[in-house]
Amino acid sequence: MPELPEVETVRLGLEKVTLGQKILGGEVLLERSIAYPFPAIAFLSAVSGAALAHWHRRGKYLLASLGQHGWLGVHLRMTGQLLWLYQQEPLQQHVRVRLFFEGGRELRFVDQRTFGQMWWVPPGIPPEKIITGIQKLGAEPFSSEFSVDYFLNKLHKCKRPIKTALLEQSIVAGVGNIYADEALFKAGIRPTKPCNILSYSEVERLHAALIQVLQEALALGGSTIRNFLTVEGVNGNYAGAAWVYNRTGKPCRICSAPIERLKLAGRGSHFCPYCQQ
């Protein structure tokens, strides 16, 4: 699933190519890709004629300001892609929504697993009223709200393994499986360690590691493990530099011990048995 660096990479790409562009119309090829309003023709009617004023990100959600026309919301989920293409280019196999713009361009929402969704939020209504998942999000990792004390307070209320807690968006928004593994490695903390026994120094290390890993991944355009592409259709480059994620059995880049993998809450967790305690 695209995480903060991937979604932010898409946001930055959209900012470069779509601002000021007016939506002329579109086509919905899969009705359930539109979360609101329903039916899909109401979505197309609402966004047609609106110009994209600015793209925002909240956690893993993308929000485009449409000025007086409200908001356009997108959640890529597991396999979603937003591609900026010419309309005459061949359609990909899993295109779900097409938005048409001037100059023969279009924004395609491609989603193999079909878990991704798009919303139109009417003007005068906060996006979180319609896109209710936003209400549950914790602090943004790059914000002043995400302090060590905030992080410590959240984690000490939780008895679950730290890896599991990091995947819950109510603590810190935008972190997923890849960067939770990477940050825990850099902080020297095992993914199975209960949150409520973490020391202040451990939380401080993890806080710094999360910010650093996310910044490094963003600088490399995110990670392409399976489906992620930028709006130009380019792969992210962080995966090749990963410390532990998806490196089961390979030597640790620090101590050369084989990277191990275990399952926590149904998700694979990668770690070094010697560098992480």
Question: Does the active-site annotation cover 3?
Answer: yes
pLDDT one-digit tens code per residue, 95-147 = 999 999 999 999 999 999 999 999 999 999 999 999 999 999 999 999 999 99
Q: In the annotation, is 60 catalytic?
A: yes
Longest dimension (CA), the chain: 58
Q: Which of 3, 6, 182, 202 is catalytic?
A: 3
Q: What mean pLDDT is reported for the chain? A: 94
**pLDDT tens digits along 202-224:** 999 999 999 999 999 998 877 65
Q: Is 277 among the domain residues?
A: no
Question: How many domains, the chain?
Answer: 2
Single out the residue of 32, 119, 24 nearest to residue 71, CA to CA: 119
CATH no. for residue 176? 1.10.8.50
Q: Is residue 127 part of a domain?
A: yes
Residues spanned by the domain of 48: 4-136
Q: Is the pLDDT of residue 228 over 90?
A: no
**Confidence (pLDDT) at 57:** 98
Q: Is 145 an active-site residue?
A: no
The yes-or-no verdict on residue 232 having pLDDT over 80 is no
**How sure is the predictor about 226, in pLDDT bands with cuts at 50, 70 and 90?**
low
Indicate if 120 and 162 belong to the same structural domain.
no
Q: pLDDT per residue over 155-200, tens digit each? A: 999 999 999 999 999 999 999 999 999 999 999 999 999 999 999 9
Residues 256 and 219 in one domain: yes
Domain edge (last residue) among 73, 104, 136 = 136
Q: Is residue 141 part of a domain?
A: no
CATH number of domain containing 10? 3.20.190.10
Residue closest to 193 by CA, chosen among 254, 269, 245: 269
Q: Which residue among the candidates 57, 58, 60, 247 is catalytic per the annotation?
A: 60
Whether 216 is catalytic is: no
Q: Are 20 and 131 part of one and the same domain?
A: yes
Q: How many CB atoms lie within 10 A of CB 138?
A: 19
Identify whether residues 90 and 180 lie together within a single domain. no
Nearest to 118 by CA among 166, 176, 67, 73: 73
Give the pLDDT score at 28.
Answer: 98
Give the model's pLDDT for residue 229: 58
| Residue 121: closest CA among 182, 183, 72 | 72
Q: Which residue among 112, 136, 160 closes a domain?
A: 136
In the set 105, 160, 261, 267, the catalytic residue is 267
